Structure 1
Amino acid sequence: MTLTELYCLMPIVITGCAALFVLLCGPLLLSSSLTAIGVTASAAAGIWAAFTAPAPIQCIPGLAFTPLAQLLIPLFSFAAALTQLLSHGYNERRILKGEEYPATVLFALFAMCVLPCATNMLILFLALESVSFAFYILVSMDLNRAESGEAGLKYLLMGAVAAAFTAFGFALIFTGSGTLALSAALARPENRAIISAGWGVLILGMAFKLSLVPAHLWTPDVYQGAPSPVAAFLSTSSKVAAAALLLILLGHFPPMAELRAPLALLSVLSMVLGNLAALRQTNIKRMLAYSSVAHMGYLALALLTGSRDGYAAVLLYGAIYTAMNLAAFGAISSLSFEEEREQITDFTGIGFSAPVRGGVLALAMVSLAGIPPTAGFIGKFFIFYSALKSGLIALAVIGILSAAASAYFYLRVVAQLYMHRSEAPAPKPVGFAEGLALCAASVCILVIGVYPGPLLEMVESALR
């Protein structure tokens, strides 16, 4: 490996070395030092990737620093850094001590940095499953809550089945094409039938990763049982990583006509049933889980277009959704002390007793509802614009109507924050780390909503 090749892969090296250092030296360091190391390593990897030019050739077999990696690695690093900032105070309040937590977050980030750099199906599969392995641990990290262990077990069992489908799908595509290389995986068009079967099985596995109906049943239980900062990281980066895998595959494979019907069905069911189920929830984390199902339905709609505009909408919405859900779960995390604050009624009057955190939660809800001038409006606009432009008018109308219906359960939280007073004592103040993370996510929501130009340019560059 030359210095130039090593330079391109430095984000992977930084996160991998930082994860090993935290795991090995963690017993000798304070929790604040572990958080500082994790945040610094995440920020360094993201900044390095953002200012490194994509390499046209493979750095090492199976890996290349692609334009897509230049966009996604900073996004994943941003999410990991904010997750660790949110986790610092939360873990101290919940007595979650030890080096395992920050090390696992860094290991997850390491796998996320590998995924957009993959140039063959084996590396792609291993990277995606490594992300899942890290989340199996993170979800069940809170040993003081029975719900956390239950959520981790459910996620592990369902994830194992999904991994089997995903691996079998890749195996069928390999059988039909005779190569693991993404750039030549359709070298044998006479084997279209077996490759189509591989795609069908692969989509079943990816439906689990993306929480698409009917493979979504694990989502509300896992979101509810996981520590709130973990739910923030899981609901954003793992979903964007799964969507990125499909984008990478679709970028090399011409979209097949036989894939349109299953993708359309998954999209419609997710948009409609996700929002309808969220309407009935009284637990805010379960509501956000079903909301996530609907939002992944929007992403599936954009993927279904098979167009450059649709793929750009997927990347744009992935970045925006990351900021929105980090703000939402981050506010929930910062308001949870001895007990998790989960019921929507638990947030009564928080807009007055904790105005900053209440404001962040309200902003996240308004953005998730797609109300301008927030980033959520920009993301939904481009999703439905790409669908209409590609002729998917019926699906776009269904998506627009379901998105309009979702405003009810999002604004119900805002009403609880500001339209009711509570006699309960004001929540305790939070530390600088959590405040910084909440402010960063909120600024992203507002800035992208008002001035999305720079992000749109980065997305366009990633698709070149």
Structure 2
Amino acid sequence: MTAFDLWSVMPLAILALGALLILIIGAVRPGSHCTGLGVVATLGAAVWTVVMPPIPASPTLGIAFGPFASFFSTLFLLAAAVTLLLSHQYNRERGIQGEEYPATVLFAAFGMVAVSASTNLLTLFLGVEAMTFAFYILVAMDRNSTGSAEAGLKYLLLGAISAACIAFGIALIYAAAGTLETREVARLTLGGGSDPLALAGWGLLLTGIAFKISLVPAHLWTPDVYQGAPTPVVAFLSTASKGAAIVFLLLLLMGGIGFKSLHGPLWWLSLLSMVVGNMAALLQPNVKRMLAYSSIAQMGYVVLALLTGTGDGFTAVIFYVVAYTAMNLAAFGAVAALSREGAGEELNDLRGMGYSHTFPAAVLALAMLALAGIPPTAGFMGKFFIFYAAFRGGEVPLAIVGILTAAASAFYYLRVVVALYMHPKGAPSGQTYIGETIALSASAAAILFLGICPAPLLSLIDHIQR
């Protein structure tokens, strides 16, 4: 490895060294949480990606931190920092002890950053699987909960199938294209004609990615894993993990080549996800399961924008990934805070919590309004850009289905708000913790800022697509 190679992967090195240092501290001082060090490592890597100039691809490592990689790396690192802040007190009260947790969060962030900076399919696959392996551990981290162990096992078994599909798909695409470069494979395999070998590879690749982002019919793991895993882990899994999988597709398809060949599969994935996700969420009494089915529908909206193959569609996808990250971090972070204060995860357990635990309940209500697409929130702007891109891209029937299902989704999102505020109960109580407050405040502020003033983010998205 040359000095240039080391410089080009410095954000990854910061995360890896931070994780190793946390593990060493844990060996010297057993039981250390090391949350602060984890937050410092993620923010340090984020600052590095923002301030350093664009670095061309390393021929040895297949990594390049250009504007696109820096943008998504920063997003994933901030999500990791918020997750660590949300987790600290939650883990203390549930007996999730030790240095393993923050170190594994850093390893997951390492995989996400590697995905966003990859320039060939090999490093792309390694980044996705590094991230996924970390989540196998995080989902099953609560050793005092049988639900967490069950969720980890289900995620592991189905994740192995997903990894096999992606690996086999990459192998077939490489056999058809003769290259692993992300900017070339779509042009060489989908640009003209229909090579059966390449189409089989893309089919397997889409199958694996459908699992990663919970698209129907590869969605069945989602509600069980979301319900059983520790809530801050679900916040990270449902946002940054899915964002990294969407980046995987963007890196391959942002050239706008080959959408005629992939239009049919993407169309059905979007339709089924929007319909099944929203309909299944309507009657869910468990808030985490409801949000799990909601996430399936939300990813259907993202695929709707993606399949247009237009610049407007890609802009809508990137904007919605950012908005969805803020919305779901706020939602699951608030659920974690309320469950820590004595409420369960059932809808009935939230009755009156808007009066007894005002701050986390207010953040949860804001997140529900945003996910429902009610202005002036990030969710409204995100859905507006998605449906605008779909209509302009000619996907009128699917856009109409999306609008109807989004309208239906307001029922189950507003049920949470009704439970919080339509059943007065008790005086304000509960203790707020500084890390938790910072994380929830930052997520809520992002939801409102992106809903009221989306122009700065849109300008940045336009810059990274050039």
- Give TM class, smaller chain: over 0.9
1:58 aligns to what? 58
1:458 aligns to what? 460
Distance 1:367 1:163 in 2: 33
Instruction: Please identify, of 22-31 and 292-301, the stretch whose mean Cα deviation from structure 2 is larger.
Output: 22-31
Letter in 2 for 1:78: L
1:171 aligns to what? 171
Distance 1:33 1:416 in 2: 34
Give the Å deviation of 1:443.
Answer: 0.7
Give the Å deviation of 1:4.
Answer: 5.6
Distance 1:29 1:319 in 2: 37
Instruction: Please identify, of 264-273 and 49-58, the stretch whose mean Cα deviation from structure 2 is larger.
Output: 49-58
Q: How many pairs are equivalent?
A: 463
Q: 2:446 aligns with which of 424, 431, 444?
A: 444
Unmatched 5+ stretches in structure 2:
none
Q: 2:431 aligns with which of 429, 432, 451?
A: 429
Distance 2:30 2:463 in 1: 41
Query: What do the CA deviations read for 1:218-271 (whole angstroms, capped 9, x no partner)?
Result: 000000000000000000011000000000011357124221111100100000
Contact 2:274-2:298 at 8 Å conserved across structures = yes
Query: Is the alpha carbon distance of 1:270 and 1:330 closer, same or farther for their aligned partners in structure 2, counting shifts above 3 Å?
Result: same
Identity %: 53
Distance 1:133 1:166 in 2: 15
Query: Is the alpha carbon distance of 1:151 and 1:427 closer, same or farther for their aligned partners in structure 2, counting shifts above 3 Å?
Result: farther
Query: Is the alpha carbon distance of 1:126 and 1:246 closer, same or farther for their aligned partners in structure 2, counting shifts above 3 Å?
Result: same
Query: Is the alpha carbon distance of 1:376 and 1:351 closer, same or farther for their aligned partners in structure 2, counting shifts above 3 Å?
Result: same
1:75 aligns to what? 75
Distance 1:386 1:191 in 2: 27
Say whether 1:298 aligns with 2:301.
yes
Distance 2:384 2:405 in 1: 14
Q: 2:225 aligns with which of 206, 215, 222?
A: 222
Q: 2:284 aligns with which of 281, 284, 287?
A: 281
Q: 2:413 aligns with which of 410, 413, 423?
A: 410
1:328 aligns to what? 331
Give the Å deviation of 1:59.
Answer: 6.6
Give the Å deviation of 1:112.
Answer: 0.8
Distance 1:296 1:255 in 2: 21
Distance 2:218 2:33 in 1: 39
Distance 2:214 2:293 in 1: 9
Distance 1:404 1:336 in 2: 29
Instruction: Please identify, of 78-87 and 190-199, the stretch whose mean Cα deviation from structure 2 is larger.
Output: 190-199
Query: Is the alpha carbon distance of 1:265 and 1:4 closer, same or farther for their aligned partners in structure 2, counting shifts above 3 Å?
Result: same
SS in 1 for 2:195: helix
Distance 1:218 1:427 in 2: 36
2:43 aligns to what? 43
Distance 2:290 2:309 in 1: 30
Query: Is the alpha carbon distance of 1:116 and 1:398 closer, same or farther for their aligned partners in structure 2, counting shifts above 3 Å?
Result: same
Contact 1:14-1:45 at 8 Å conserved across structures = yes
Query: What do the CA deviations read for 1:149-198 (whole angstroms, capped 9, x no partner)?
Result: 00000000011111111111111100101122223334476773211211
Give the Å deviation of 1:23.
Answer: 1.5
Give the Å deviation of 1:2.
Answer: 5.9
Query: What do the CA deviations read for 1:43-77 (whole angstroms, capped 9, x no partner)?
Result: 11112112223224437431111221111011001
Query: Is the alpha carbon distance of 1:190 and 1:379 closer, same or farther for their aligned partners in structure 2, counting shifts above 3 Å?
Result: closer
Give the Å deviation of 1:358.
Answer: 0.8
CA-based RMSD: 1.8
Contact 1:139-1:230 at 8 Å conserved across structures = yes
1:153 aligns to what? 153
Contact 1:15-1:42 at 8 Å conserved across structures = yes
Distance 1:358 1:184 in 2: 48
1:126 aligns to what? 126
Alignment of 1:16-415 (within 5 A): 16-29=16-29, 34-58=34-58, 60-185=60-185, 186-187=187-188, 192-251=195-254, 254-337=257-340, 341-415=344-418
SS in 2 for 1:336: helix
Instruction: Please identify, of 80-89 and 249-258, the stretch whose mean Cα deviation from structure 2 is larger.
Output: 249-258
Contact 2:212-2:242 at 8 Å conserved across structures = yes
Unmatched 5+ stretches in structure 1:
none
Give the Å deviation of 1:339.
Answer: 6.5
Query: What do the CA deviations read for 1:398-437 (whole angstroms, capped 9, x no partner)?
Result: 10110011011001100111111236x8663131111111
Distance 1:294 1:278 in 2: 9
Distance 1:191 1:420 in 2: 59
Distance 1:211 1:130 in 2: 18
Contact 2:135-2:237 at 8 Å conserved across structures = yes
Give the Å deviation of 1:29.
Answer: 4.5
Contact 2:330-2:440 at 8 Å conserved across structures = yes
TM-score of the aligned structures, taking structure 2 as reference length: 0.95
Distance 1:308 1:256 in 2: 13
Instruction: Please identify, of 173-182 and 185-194, the stretch whose mean Cα deviation from structure 2 is larger.
Output: 185-194
Following TM superposition, the consecutive aligned residue runs of length 4 or more in structure 1 with deviations greater than 4 angstroms are 1-5, 29-33, 186-191
Instruction: Please identify, of 148-157 and 450-459, the stretch whose mean Cα deviation from structure 2 is larger.
Output: 450-459
Query: Is the alpha carbon distance of 1:29 and 1:320 closer, same or farther for their aligned partners in structure 2, counting shifts above 3 Å?
Result: farther
Query: Is the alpha carbon distance of 1:124 and 1:252 closer, same or farther for their aligned partners in structure 2, counting shifts above 3 Å?
Result: farther
TM-score of the aligned structures, taking structure 1 as reference length: 0.96
Query: Is the alpha carbon distance of 1:164 and 1:427 closer, same or farther for their aligned partners in structure 2, counting shifts above 3 Å?
Result: farther
Query: Is the alpha carbon distance of 1:427 and 1:287 closer, same or farther for their aligned partners in structure 2, counting shifts above 3 Å?
Result: farther
